[in-house]
Amino acid sequence: MLGTPSVEELRHKTFGVRHLQCLLLALGLAMGYANRVNFSVAIVAMTDAHEHKEGVETFQWSEKEKSLIQSSFFWGYVVTQIPAGQWCRKVGAKAIFLWGNIISSTLALLTPYLVTMGDWQMLVAVRIVQGLAQGVMFPCTHSVLSRWSPPGERATLCGLAYAGTYLGAILIFGSSGWIITYLHGWPSVYYVSGFMGFVWCFIWYVWGSNSPHSYKRISPAEKSMILKSMETPEDRNVESSFKTPWRSIVCSMPFWALLVDHCAHNWGFWTLLSQLPSYMKYILNMDIQSNGLFSALPYLIMFLLTFIFGYLADVFHKRQWMSTNLSRKLFNTVGQWLPMISLVALGFCDSSHLVWALAFIVISVGFNSSSFLGFNVNHLDISPNYAGVLMGITNSAANVITILALLTVGFVVTDVTDPLQWRILFCVAAGFYFVGNLCFLLFGQTSVQKWNESSPKPAEMQLLEPNHEGKSYTK
């Protein structure tokens, strides 16, 4: 249409509705992660008799019981992943994401009361239901991104949205030490994260949207630019009428490479994320306030690097320095093999190597953000129309692996003061990083697969892809 702005003409606009939607997604993921990882910090005070406050109960849980509690969240989390992808296509991601956070935040507020009534068994039940509620979040995010982010801005907008996961960890790890010390002990961690979740729910209800079609206050120019750049059908019900090609998905080698890498990533990432406060307390001998602050530092670096990597990806796209396929694999390698090396090195550190230990932790966590421009957006590469479904499948499988990883902690680390046991744990996690990225390098692809029926060409996800001769960089 004559006069319709292009992506390049509108991308210099400082803030559009598409940016607002990605920002809201980021904050939603942040609240979800805050309610997910609050236990990782609170458990240090919940099981430490020396961190006693009047009227606040502490518990004597074994390491295996702690591992059961840590892993229980993911027992529920894996169940709703695959259905969530289908629900997003049929009902819309906005309502599903909203109710997921409402349930999760409500349970966070009730956790202190429930755990004092039913001990660790009740806490396991609460975490399972929270997992069920939060299992919809990543499929919902992918569903919204597939409708709001033009190909030329995909790296920046995806980076903005998924940076929320790190922001949630920063908020909890950075503030929990202060909250526990100066407010009402460990219960306050749950109260604060639950309250923040409800604030987000109100904001998302008012300003969140499934697509440009359903957002009334978007300018005609921005709406037209988004839809034209992605060749989005005017009637979104057309897309929902297509049947999911389950057999083709299961027989797809690029899908299996993505699945294996996602699983391996989760083993490495969640091993460190869930155990970092305990490692800092028992091996690095850090008190709960400094523990919380330094636990937040790697995620702050991760948060900042997300935007740097996203900017680099946009530069590569604009100047055509490399193909989409090479870019995905480069960022994925940086995000998994650098953490692999630093995890092994971390296993050989103790309190006498505090500076080195913190440096290796920052590398292990911070550079992991690069992989979000690798495997984590590859779902949109190989099948734009079923990106939410694919995310549901791979994230479900990956979180089964997360459960096994967290249960493994309880068997490997039976004495939290033994550095050798932590070394074994970190080396196993590093091995998963190596195998996962190797599979992605060998078998991963970025071309849209034939079973992506409703998309005539790879317009939905062309990060770093098109050249000016009409040829594709992808395999």
The CA–CA distances, whole Å, from 194 to 30, 428, 440 equal 12, 34, 37
In one letter, which amino acid is 374?
A: G
Please tell me the predicted confidence (pLDDT) of residue 475.
39
The owner of tokens 């961690």 is 189
Return the pLDDT at 457.
Answer: 41
- Looking at residue 133, its pLDDT comes to 95
Beta bridge partners of 472: 466
What is the rounded (10 degree) CA torsion for 344, 348, 350, 352? -120
> 48 vs 58, 122, 192, 337, 430, CA distance in Å?
7, 19, 21, 35, 30
CB atoms within 10 A of CB 447: 17
Bridge partners of residue 466, in order along the sequence: 472
CA dist., res. 379 & res. 449, Å (int): 11
Q: Is the pTM of this model over 0.75?
A: no
pLDDT of residue 156: 77
- Beta-strand ranges (E) seen in 154-199 are none
Whether 389 and 373 have beta carbons less than 8 Å apart is answered as no
**Would you state the torsion angle of the CA atoms of residues 300, 143, 439, 404, taken in this order, to the nearest 10 degrees?**
70
Euclidean distance between CA atoms 234 and 236, whole angstroms: 6
In the three-class reduction of DSSP (H, G, I as helix; E, B as strand; rest coil), residue 281 is classed as: helix
Q: DSSP of 205-241, one letter per residue?
A: HHH--SSGGG-TTS-HHHHHHHHHHHT--S-HHHHHT
Q: How far is CA 189 from the centre of its chain?
A: 21
Contact 308, 368 (CB under 8 A): no
Classify 186 as helix, strand or coil.
coil
pLDDT at res. 287: 67
- pLDDT for 51 equals 62
Whether 28 contacts 200, CB under 8 Å:
yes
| CA–CA–CA angle 62, 122, 99 (5° rounding) | 125
Q: Which among 288, 264, 261 has a CA at the least distance from the CA of 276?
A: 288
What does the alpha-carbon distance between residue 69 and residue 344 come to, in Å, rounded to a whole number? 26
For residue 426, count other CB atoms closer than 10 A to its CB: 27
Q: Which of 53, 55, 35, 33 is closest to 45 using CA atoms?
A: 53
pLDDT, one tens digit for every residue, the chain (475 residues):
445 555 555 555 567 889 899 999 999 999 998 998 888 778 878 887 666 667 778 888 887 888 888 888 988 988 998 888 788 878 889 999 999 999 999 999 999 999 989 889 999 999 999 999 999 998 899 889 888 877 667 777 887 888 888 888 888 877 887 888 788 888 999 999 999 999 999 999 999 998 888 888 888 888 888 887 765 444 444 455 567 888 888 999 999 999 999 999 999 988 887 787 788 888 888 765 565 667 677 778 888 888 888 888 877 877 778 888 898 899 999 999 999 999 999 989 888 888 898 889 889 888 988 988 889 888 888 887 788 788 888 988 998 898 889 888 888 988 888 989 999 999 999 999 999 999 999 999 988 888 886 444 433 334 334 444 444 434 3
Distance between CA 35 and CA 39 in Å, rounded?
8
The three-class DSSP label of residue 17 is: helix
| Domains (range + CATH), the chain | 16-223 (1.20.1250.20), 252-450 (1.20.1250.20)
Question: 122-156 as b/e, with b when 16 or more CB fall inside 10 Å?
Answer: ebbebbbbbbbbbbbbbbbbbbbbbbbbbbbbbbb
Looking at residue 355, what is its pLDDT?
87
Distance CA 418, CA 425 (A): 11
Please give the pLDDT value at position 1: 41
Note the pLDDT of residue 242: 63
What integer pLDDT is reported at residue 286 of this predicted model? 77
